[in-house]
Structure 1
Amino acid sequence: MTNVTPFTIAIPEAKLADLNQRLANTILASEIPNSGWSYGPSAAFVTRAIDRLRNGFDWRAHEAAINQHPQFTTEIDGQTIHFLHVKSGTPKATPLLLLHGWPGSFVEFLDVIAPLTAAGFDLVIPSLPGFGFSGPTKESGWNDSRIANALLELMTRIGYQRFGVQGGDAGAVIAPAIARAAPDRVIGVHVNAATMGFIPMGPIEPSEFPTFTDAERTRLQRLQQFMAERFGFNVLQSSRPQTVAYGISDSPSGLIAWLGDMFAGFGDSPDAIDVDKFLTNVLVYWFSGTAASSIRLYYENAHDPEAWSPKPNSGVPTGVAVFGRDEVAIRRFAEGGNTIARWTELDTGGHFAALEVPEVWAKEVVSFFSGLKR
């Protein structure tokens, strides 16, 4: 199968009516008074999201806005791949593959399409297999490596021999994997929300601690706190994803809470992202039926015997943007497996920087790729 087929989002009215009925029938979980986000998403956060969906949120308007961008589907390795393909119209434009993670989607990149195409980039923005309008995965084994190979084939299929890759979260793992698979084809890799491959992957020798800067010590403490107190979602999705899948596939309020915990920085930044952008992302999961399949990515990677093994350095120039509320990447740990050509630390933004500070994010991406050989 090599056909590339135009795609338009058109959610049936029956699905919208069903969503509204489920929201109307929501049974909110009890919570400890004045506990805020100590136990997880607050009732106030979930209630606000439900109220917005039922009063004022216009899915059809967001659907129409997305449909202004050319979209397509194709089948690779037995899996549907949905993607936006937005050309700049610039002669000798630079092809750029933009990769989201969980619990994000292609929605993360909607606000950066205009500045990137204006800067001379042809954009390919896929829904990862098992996410969004790529639909649920149909078999096991869709780990980061397999996804990287599928996206490499996607770029071949639509005619791009050389291209850049940008990714955040899971995309920050898949992007370097694409470079390792085809270093001769990748102009450069840029990442934000970087974790695996950019943080310590094991114990740190006590003798090394005195060599850390104050900023590096702060990041280590932040990372250790995250692993100790906020890593539960990862453990569950890596071991028993189907357990939570029933709840987030059946209850829109459950999906709002599960995705919202991450988008709100576990309560640290519940207002960092516009509520309508957050809800558009949630509804992409809901209407595509990919709440369950998206979290299986964690299981597939956790059960990949090669996932945690040291990775060779592709030699591809790599840029890293460390945004203010997402400071965990540490350069000394990144340099072993990556050829760091640019390392930028910013005071603003967080894990979903393209949504939170799109202008800053876009400027950083343009600056990195503009200095690379095409």
Structure 2
Amino acid sequence: MSIRPFTLAITTEQLDDLDRRLRSSRLPDTLAADSWDDGTDVSFLARLLDYWSNHYDWRIHEQRINRLPQFLAEIDGEEIHFLHQRGIGPKTMPLIITHGWPGSFLEMERLLALLTDPAKYGGHASDAFDVVVPSLPGYGCSPAPTKAGISSKQIASLWASLMGELGYDRFGAQGGDIGAGVSMWLARNYGPNLIGAHLNYIPGSFRPALEGGRDALSEEEQDFLNRSSQFAATEGAYAALHGTKPQTLAFALSDSPAGLAAWIIEKFHSWVDHPNDLEQVVSFDALISDIALYWFSGSIQATLRLYKENRLNPLVFEANERVEAPLGVALFPKELPMPPRSWVERVFHVHRWEHMERGGHFAALEQPEILAEEIRAFFRPLRR
């Protein structure tokens, strides 16, 4: 495996092309310009596109991003971009954190400092981590996979190889969204290497074996399945499309930055815990930087297709299968449907199950201080 430093460098030609496309954006007709009922609010998107064209400066953000410790590794024929920040403390713990869709490694920018140098932010140096934040294949600065079949299961294998190459024989894992699935696969398939896994989401693809059939479901578990079905019926069109015909959507998102922004922003608006004003929690600069990474990567199809790969290789467990690696779960109030503890304990050894005061699906971006303290609390008794 080869590991080398990485610097993000978008060309002037790419920026000029983006600017032309933004200025020639054609927005759709709508029955209500200030409503999210049918999808992305047209007025909101128009304001964001105006800001992107006339006020957002990519070069300033590129310089900021390049102050992060970035690297590229070649693992089993795949190139993986990752951040690697060593902690400041007497005995740091290795921790790999995985993002999801439509996020990126930039979600972890503030979390990175809180975990690697907790004493600087009011914590204890004994809680410091060595943090690795990879970009999922095809996301951000990781090139698209070179072959089909790269699901969260295979990504977990890539992560285990990466951590071994970095000198970490045992490590912790953390993640939300797709990153939660990757972390659960790490716990399932690399238990001896895993100190523990901490999640701020339980992926919908996770299915324990129902010994005794559906009659064995508790009332809470049945309620969870009902809520999940309702979510799929009313909010799940994106996942169904990603998981079945991702390439068709990719034509539009690869050609139009306005379309890409609309597709991504609708999820931030729906899933972030905000007082009916997304900008109070996530700034236009943060939103656009994330969208721009997807645009400049040129591999939007790969990001969508990961849903299809995960549908074909779901996180389904056999009867009597158990995962012994300690598991911790942080439940944020604006999260997508989450199961009760009993559902997860059918397979996993749950050490910690905590309800957070505020926050949504993008916990590291929305509430990094709350998430950082919860991660420290989960791993504290697991340190040796």
Provide TM-score, normalisation by structure 1: 0.92
- Does the aligned pair in 2 maintain the 1:324–1:348 contact within 8 Å? yes
- Does the aligned pair in 1 maintain the 2:208–2:346 contact within 8 Å? no
- Does the aligned pair in 1 maintain the 2:198–2:378 contact within 8 Å? yes
The number of residue pairs the alignment matches comes to 368
- Does the aligned pair in 2 maintain the 1:193–1:352 contact within 8 Å? no
- The residue type equivalent to 2:354 in the other structure is T
Closer/same/farther in 2, CA of residues 267 and 153 from structure 1, 3 Å limit: closer
Please say if 1:18 is aligned against 2:28: no
- The residue type equivalent to 1:154 in the other structure is L
What do you get for the CA RMSD once the two structures are aligned? 2.3
Q: Describe the superposition over 1:166-208 as per-residue Cα deviations: whole angstroms up to 9, x where unpaired.
A: 0000111110111222111111100012223667898984785
Please say if 1:181 is aligned against 2:189: yes
Residue 25 of structure 1, CA deviation: 0.4
Please say if 1:345 is aligned against 2:355: yes
Please say if 1:139 is aligned against 2:138: no
- The residue type equivalent to 1:289 in the other structure is G
Residue 83 of structure 1, CA deviation: 0.3
The residue that corresponds to 1:149 in the other structure is 157
- Does the aligned pair in 1 maintain the 2:181–2:315 contact within 8 Å? no
- Does the aligned pair in 1 maintain the 2:97–2:174 contact within 8 Å? yes
The residue that corresponds to 1:316 in the other structure is 325
Provide TM-score, normalisation by structure 2: 0.90
CA distance in 2, matches of 1:118, 1:350: 25
Q: Describe the superposition over 1:52-105 as per-residue Cα deviations: whole angstroms up to 9, x where unpaired.
A: 111221211211112112111011121110000011133321111010011111
- Does the aligned pair in 2 maintain the 1:187–1:316 contact within 8 Å? yes
- Does the aligned pair in 2 maintain the 1:192–1:320 contact within 8 Å? yes
CA distance in 1, matches of 2:68, 2:373: 21
* Larger displacement relative to structure 2 (288-297 or 240-249): 288-297
- Does the aligned pair in 2 maintain the 1:96–1:124 contact within 8 Å? yes
The residue that corresponds to 1:236 in the other structure is 241
Residue 274 of structure 1, CA deviation: 2.1
- The residue type equivalent to 1:241 in the other structure is P
SS in 2 for 1:132: coil
- The residue type equivalent to 1:252 in the other structure is P
The residue that corresponds to 1:88 in the other structure is 87
The residue that corresponds to 1:260 in the other structure is 265
SS in 2 for 1:298: helix
SS in 2 for 1:184: helix
Tell me, which stretches of 5 or more residues in structure 2 are unaligned?
119-127
Residue 107 of structure 1, CA deviation: 0.8
Tell me, which stretches of 5 or more residues in structure 1 are unaligned?
none
- The residue type equivalent to 1:301 in the other structure is N
CA distance in 1, matches of 2:245, 2:179: 22
CA distance in 2, matches of 1:14, 1:310: 52
Residue 220 of structure 1, CA deviation: 5.2
Of 354, 360, 366, 2:370 maps to: 360
Closer/same/farther in 2, CA of residues 307 and 208 from structure 1, 3 Å limit: closer
SS in 2 for 1:371: helix
Q: Aligned residues: percent identity?
A: 38
CA distance in 2, matches of 1:69, 1:195: 29
Q: Describe the superposition over 1:113-158 as per-residue Cα deviations: whole angstroms up to 9, x where unpaired.
A: 1110113111100001121111112211111111110110000111
- Does the aligned pair in 2 maintain the 1:4–1:72 contact within 8 Å? yes
SS in 2 for 1:145: helix
Closer/same/farther in 2, CA of residues 342 and 34 from structure 1, 3 Å limit: same
CA distance in 1, matches of 2:366, 2:306: 25
Please say if 1:53 is aligned against 2:52: yes
Q: Describe the superposition over 1:244-288 as per-residue Cα deviations: whole angstroms up to 9, x where unpaired.
A: 001111110111111112111169856042221111111111111
CA distance in 2, matches of 1:130, 1:266: 23
SS in 2 for 1:9: coil
